[in-house]
Amino acid sequence: MKKIIFPKSLKKGDKIAVISPAGSVDVSQLEAGIKMIKNKGFVPVLGEHLYSKFSNGYNYAGTEKERIKDINWALNDKETSAVWASRGGYGCQHLIQHLKLNKFIENPKWYIGYSDNTVIQSYLLKKGFASIHGQTIKTSSFGVTDESYDLIFDVLKGKVPKYIIKPDQFNKKGNTKGELVGGNLALIFALLGTKYSFDFKDKILFIEDIGENFYALDRMIMSLELAGVFTKISGLIVGGMTNMGDEKENTQYNNSFDEFAYKLISERLSKYKFPVAFGFPNGHIKDNRPLIIGGNVKMKVDNIIKIEF
């Protein structure tokens, strides 16, 4: 098994590259996050095309060429010590065939993001590098807690997280351990069958999502089943399932940890023996606590849930 490399810890004064690998952002949407980086004692360095806009069926943060240029600069620049995505959205799949890690391999750095950034994190893990599945610089409409950001800075400074969370009615008890893979379910699904897909064997899988109809959620879970994912993993962590289903017809389920979405997932997994922890605070939710993709996890699902790196 390939040993996963954790980037070195950051110290005060280190530079953090801020880039937009997918959707476009306005200056006002990043002001608070960039100020936070400064207040924590680090130096934000903005990508050339951070605020670029290119409309082509979706509002991207620049053309593919511009976004490729920015991410390759951020990953390989010897002056920066971490790379923080401004937001997700859609567009990271455009980049992965063009990523270069020449200098990154000599000086690995943390990549921070979630949602569409799952694509980049899968790519990095295939190359042997851990990353942080956590809040982007842009705060979403549902906001983000200070602790969610503080915990990211803890990881950047070398402190790995330990979590104890409340039980959920759909949990499946058990103990397991393994390397953590996953992120946004739609992107895990989109990468299935490609050379960029996660390796699921003996791994603990994390999934979260937003704004999917219930049938689309079921279709993605079925695709994972048909691909043999659930016969390979040793455990599953389910995070936020936000604004799922048809909001007009299913308003009773319209929350961060959608009960009906959880029920659908639980029913699909009923024949498998691995432990499942629902309700983990990560995803398109206000309390978005970081997970380390590629980190070794001990997971205990009982009257309380313990997840330790």
Q: Residue written as tokens 């503080």? A: 150
251 has pLDDT over 80? no
From 208, 212, 234, 256, the catalytic residue: 208
284 is annotated as an active-site residue = yes
197 has pLDDT over 60? yes
Cα separations (Å) of 149 from 36, 152, 306? Answer: 9, 5, 21
Determine contact, residues 82/17, Cβ cutoff 8 Å.
yes
Average pLDDT over all residues of the chain: 95
CB atoms within 10 A of CB 191: 18
Q: What are phi and psi of 237, to 5 degrees?
A: -115, 130
Determine contact, residues 239/180, Cβ cutoff 8 Å.
no
What's the pLDDT score for residue 141?
73
What's the pLDDT score for residue 108?
98
208 is annotated as an active-site residue = yes
pLDDT tens for each residue of 131-189: 999 999 998 777 899 999 999 999 999 999 999 999 999 999 999 999 999 999 999 99
Share of the chain above pLDDT 70, in %: 97
> Measured on CA atoms in the order 170, 174, 175, 179, is the torsion positive or negative?
negative
Amino acid at 255: N
Q: Take residue 196 and report the two structure tokens written for it.
A: 């960029």
| CATH 3.50.30.60 domain position(s) in the chain | 162-308
Right CATH for 15-156 from 3.60.15.10, 3.40.50.620, 3.40.50.920, 3.40.50.10740: 3.40.50.10740
What's the pLDDT score for residue 139?
81
pLDDT grade for 248, boundaries at 50, 70 and 90: low
What's the pLDDT score for residue 255?
65
125 has pLDDT over 50? yes
pLDDT tens for each residue of 28-75: 999 999 999 999 999 999 999 999 999 999 999 999 999 999 999 999
Q: Take residue 187 and report the two structure tokens written for it.
A: 């992107």
pLDDT grade for 252, boundaries at 50, 70 and 90: very low
116 has pLDDT over 80? yes
pLDDT grade for 1, boundaries at 50, 70 and 90: low
Rounded to whole angstroms, how far apart are CA atoms 137 and 42?
14
Nearest to 207 by CA among 160, 129, 266, 126: 266
From 115, 131, 148, 234, the catalytic residue: 115
CB atoms within 10 A of CB 73: 18
Q: Mean pLDDT over residues 230-240, rounded?
A: 98
CATH code: domain 162-308 is 3.50.30.60
> Measured on CA atoms in the order 158, 25, 125, 309, is the torsion positive or negative?
positive
Q: What are phi and psi of 21, to 5 degrees?
A: -85, -10
Helix (H, G, I), strand (E, B) or coil at 77: coil
